[in-house]
Amino acid sequence: MNVSDRLSAGLKALPRHASSSFASTQAAWRFYKNESITLSVLQEPLLNAAYRGIAEHCETYALCIHDWSKLSYKHHNKKDTYAVTHETDIGYDLQTSLIVSDQTGCPIAPVAQRLISAEGSFATYSKTVPDQQIKSHLDEVTDCILYLEKQSFCKPLVHMIDREADSIGHIRRWDAEGCTWLVRVKDNPKVDYKNESMSCKTVANQLQFNPSRSVDYHGKTYQQSVAQAQVVVSRPAKPSQKLGKHPPIPGSPISARLIVSRVLDEDGKIIAEWLLLTNVKNISSSIIALWYYWRWKIESFFKLLKSAGHQLESWQQESALAIAKRLLVVSMACVTVWHIAADKSKEAAEFRLFLIKLSGRQMRYGKEFTHPALLAGLWSFLSMLEVLQNYSQDQLHNFKMTAQQFV
């Protein structure tokens, strides 16, 4: 639960009589080293949280956001790091699948995670794969999607991926497997619209946009406008050329909706534009545009793991497997905070206010709470409870008198 900083990113001990930071660190080392503590076992509480959260917070679909994040590790004790994108970008590659509500966009639980190192791929949904057999991002996320589709969630999943997933070959496979998908596409790829082949950007410029809602974008409020068109994707797939040249692969045409979401300032200038391709049929284009707007929740999760909470990139575990295990444990802490944040009861609102006071964090005007502040306050609360359970009032009074001697 504890919120870390870069210079102290290890496990913190609760203030018990019989515990110490060193003892807690030893216990954690034994736990992560234990071969019976597997990634699939540690994933089970997160899956259970997803089952409960989907039933409680989702109405028609559960939105499953897939994304990747580079973890920078340049510590001398890390022997299994590799150049993720270029020679100076040393570390691991993290793949995460996060469930969020289709009604509020609130995060519910990460249902799959994979960490790639120089020694191989460590995933919660498959066996460890040596580095020679590691698949590309989209091939791997396809395996993840097919695994999640077999988990019998009470609501169907909509798999949402950013522009990296603009691959017609992979989209055809998801479609053939009966998956529901929402993908951001690039400007140039061609689609068939009104019996003509043209780029997605050209189609977007021909559409009639309707104001949808006000949204926050980079800290400011703008207007979101949405348009849609029914298109057919019939172009052949172009395999990756990294491992040699391969000819284009033809495939069956896919009928889909092209939904264009634009963020406009008060003068009508386009601040941001997203071209979205989806096979979701029974949901309005405005709602689907809002779903994709919520995709940034997975970036907030990465931020909570890395710089605003757990300082993931400062952890000292030597192996990627140990990092992956600890990552799943702290993900449970994130899920706990999300549940506290999503609860609409009066008691939960009072508890959030209490945690914010304990955290000592400043909130922006009009902001009730943030997830990092709730996480910090919850750790303080747990520590406070441990103090009250392990020290008498007389002992605490003596500590107070001792402290006052130095004031």
Taking alpha carbons only, the member of 30, 29, 32 closest to residue 41 is 32
**Residues 6 or more apart whose Cβ sits within 8 Å of residue 8:** none
SS3 call for 225? strand
pLDDT at 4: 63
Q: What is the pTM of this model?
A: 0.90
Taking alpha carbons only, the member of 230, 199, 228 closest to residue 288 is 228
Q: Please report which confidence band the pLDDT of residue 18 belongs to, taking 50, 70 and 90 as the band edges.
A: low
Q: Does the pLDDT value for residue 241 go beyond 90?
A: no
pLDDT at 33: 85
SS3 call for 289? helix
Mean pLDDT along residues 350-355 = 95
Distance CA 311, CA 314 (A): 6
pLDDT at 390: 85
Taking alpha carbons only, the member of 221, 305, 209, 298 closest to residue 259 is 209
Q: Please report which confidence band the pLDDT of residue 2 belongs to, taking 50, 70 and 90 as the band edges.
A: low
Task: Report strand pairing: 120-123 vs 210-217.
Answer: unpaired
pLDDT at 249: 87
Mean pLDDT along residues 7-30 = 68
pLDDT in tens, 301-332: 999 998 877 888 888 888 889 899 999 999 99
pLDDT at 81: 80
pLDDT at 3: 64
Q: Please report which confidence band the pLDDT of residue 95 belongs to, taking 50, 70 and 90 as the band edges.
A: very high
pLDDT in tens, 131-157: 667 888 899 999 999 999 999 999 999
Q: Tell me the percentage of the chain whose pLDDT exceeds 70.
A: 93
Distance CA 65, CA 82 (A): 26
Q: Does the pLDDT value for residue 245 go beyond 80?
A: no
The mean of the pLDDT values for the chain is 89
CATH classification for the domain delimited by 42-237+250-329, as one of 3.40.30.10, 3.90.350.10, 3.30.2350.10, 3.40.50.300: 3.90.350.10
Q: Where are the domains of the chain?
A: 42-237+250-329
Q: Tell me the percentage of the chain whose pLDDT exceeds 90.
A: 63
Q: Does the pLDDT value for residue 11 go beyond 80?
A: no
Q: Does the pLDDT value for residue 86 go beyond 80?
A: no
pLDDT in tens, 196-205: 999 999 999 9
pLDDT at 146: 95
Q: Please report which confidence band the pLDDT of residue 9 belongs to, taking 50, 70 and 90 as the band edges.
A: low
pLDDT at 230: 96
Q: Please report which confidence band the pLDDT of residue 270 belongs to, taking 50, 70 and 90 as the band edges.
A: very high
Q: Got the DSSP string for 71-102?
A: EE---TT--S-EESSSTT-EEEEEEEEEEEET
Cα-Cα-Cα-Cα dihedral sign, residues 226, 231, 235, 238 = positive
Mean pLDDT along residues 395-400 = 92
- Asked which of 73-77, 118-122, 300-304 is least confident by mean pLDDT, the reply is 73-77
Mean pLDDT along residues 112-128 = 90
pLDDT at 398: 93
- Phi–psi pair at 357, nearest 5 degrees: -65, -40
Q: Does the pLDDT value for residue 387 go beyond 70?
A: yes
